[in-house]
């Protein structure tokens, strides 16, 4: 199957200049950029539209769309213990499937081509991703403080064996929840297993003020030898920052969730200055309440500019949303170049807030919104196009989602 995207403005990566050109996509990959004479099976005239690398959501709990708006105006501890954990105890595989599907519909509408998920009923998450056609790094949330950590780890291993690499869409990792829900011994064991399987790890780190453990202790485990996405890192001591400046470490910054739960602002400028690779996440919809990386990119930038407007350049912001996110997830390249998967988004830039055109990269960070996303493509297939979701039956998904919400919230709100 050949697709021709013609007359588009193209941003290959955050550091390139925008050019007007054509893209030929063959068998899910970009096969040519420039003047194209050959025929294609489908031709799309994208005049007045910009094509850029798809966005990556590097930290979320997709199925928590089921709990959107159910726990407002609470700190993290109360939010978890009084609202979220009681509902999660009732979750079934079917609930998680529909919650994930709704999350993917939202993310695709907002230009996200890949996401990193930590949750449970992982078979349902993976099936939803494959059914929808979105890329996902899926980790089973692992906890051992209740004495049931071994069972969960075995589940994660079996899930890895079943799903890793499925359809070129799924990567499986391991998700020790946090140092306050996992013992050091358990983190070490999980990381050892991940290392043996060459699988990535994601873990919550210093999200709230109450987290006072020592980072040296965490990094004395096998975690130091794994590819790791550390989510949040809000209350990270300055002396710890250089410890995260490693090729195999990434920090997933979730500014909206951190603010909404009253946790504060992560030291992103300091992290970047020390060479730490920072990507962006939304966290779950229960604490955000949207799944919108364009919004996170702008907010992350503005929060760091609060005391110094030179903090966080446009290119750095775009890099967090694309290249670093792609590298952290391992799911896509974050660049549009020949030979890479066609994981891209199309924005309608014939709008007043994208003028003057010469400053387009700044507009993408500071003026664009998810409503400007015209289409989203993963591996050469449209998963969202001009108001439509070609891969799914919207009515059935919404009905299944609403039934799931009723199941979960009955006698629980």
Residues of the binding site for Zn(2+) = 59, 61, 204, 283
Q: Say if residues 36 and 6 touch (Cβ distance below 8 Å).
A: yes
CA angle in degrees (0–180, nearest 5) for 295-297-302: 95
Q: Which amino acids are annotated as binding site for substrate, given as ranges?
A: 88, 140, 177, 207, 283
Q: Say if residues 116 and 229 touch (Cβ distance below 8 Å).
A: yes
The string of DSSP letters for 272-296 reads HHTT-EEEE----GGGSS---HHHH
Helix locations, 110-165, DSSP H: 122-132, 149-163
DSSP, res 17: P
* Residue located via tokens 């709230």: 208
Contacts of 361 by beta carbon, 8 Å cutoff, 6+ apart: 11, 14, 18, 314, 315, 318
DSSP, res 82: I
* Residue 393 backbone class (left: φ over 0; alpha: ψ -120 to 50; beta: rest): beta
Q: Distances from the Cα of 141 to the Cαs of 152, 221, 346, 372, in angstroms?
A: 8, 18, 33, 34
The helix-helix angle for 122-132 and 93-109 (nearest 10°) equals 40
Q: Distances from the Cα of 323 to the Cαs of 178, 226, 282, 296, 336, in angstroms?
A: 26, 20, 17, 15, 11
d(CA 210, CA 11) in angstroms, rounded, equals 42
Q: Which amino acids are annotated as binding site, given as ranges?
A: 59, 61, 88, 140, 177, 204, 207, 283
Helix locations, 198-292, DSSP H: 215-219, 255-260, 268-273
């Amino acid at each position: 199957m050949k697709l021709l995207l013609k007359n588009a403005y193209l941003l290959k990566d955050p550091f390139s200049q925008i050019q007007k050109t054509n893209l030929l996509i063959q068998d899910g990959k970009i096969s040519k950029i420039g003047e194209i004479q050959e025929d294609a099976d489908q031709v799309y005239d994208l005049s007045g539209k910009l094509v850029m690398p798809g966005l990556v959501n590097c930290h979320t709990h997709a199925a928590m769309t089921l709990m959107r708006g159910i726990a407002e105006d609470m700190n993290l501890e109360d939010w978890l213990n009084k609202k979220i954990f009681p509902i999660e105890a009732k979750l079934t595989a079917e609930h998680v499937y529909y919650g994930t599907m709704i999350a993917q519909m939202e993310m695709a509408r907002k230009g996200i081509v890949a996401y990193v998920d930590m949750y449970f009923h992982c078979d349902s998450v993976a099936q939803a991703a494959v059914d929808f056609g979105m890329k996902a790094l899926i980790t089973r949330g692992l906890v051992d403080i209740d004495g049931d950590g071994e069972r969960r780890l075995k589940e994660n291993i079996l899930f890895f064996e079943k799903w890793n690499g499925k359809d070129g869409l799924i990567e499986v990792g391991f998700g020790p929840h946090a140092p306050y829900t996992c013992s050091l011994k358990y983190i070490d064991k999980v990381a050892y297993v991940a290392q043996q399987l060459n699988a990535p790890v994601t873990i919550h780190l210093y999200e709230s003020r109450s987290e006072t453990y020592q980072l040296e202790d965490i990094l004395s485990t096998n975690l130091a030898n794994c590819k790791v996405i550390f989510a949040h890192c809000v209350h990270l001591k300055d002396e710890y920052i250089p410890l995260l400046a490693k090729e195999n470490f990434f920090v997933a910054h979730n500014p909206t969730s951190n603010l909404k739960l009253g946790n504060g602002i992560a030291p992103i400028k300091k992290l970047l200055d020390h060479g730490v690779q920072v990507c962006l996440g939304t966290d779950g919809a229960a604490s955000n309440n949207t799944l919108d990386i364009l919004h996170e990119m702008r907010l992350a930038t503005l929060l760091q500019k609060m005391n110094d407007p030179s903090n966080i350049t446009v290119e750095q912001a775009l890099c967090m949303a694309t290249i670093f996110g792609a590298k952290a997830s391992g799911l896509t390249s974050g660049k549009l170049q020949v030979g890479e998967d066609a994981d891209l988004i199309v924005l309608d830039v014939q709008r007043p807030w994208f003028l003057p055109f010469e400053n387009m990269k700044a507009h993408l960070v500071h003026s664009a919104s998810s409503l400007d996303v015209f289409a989203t493509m993963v591996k050469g297939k449209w998963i969202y196009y001009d108001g439509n979701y070609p891969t799914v039956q919207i009515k059935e998904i919404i009905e299944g989602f609403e039934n799931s919400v009723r199941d979960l919230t009955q006698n629980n709100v």
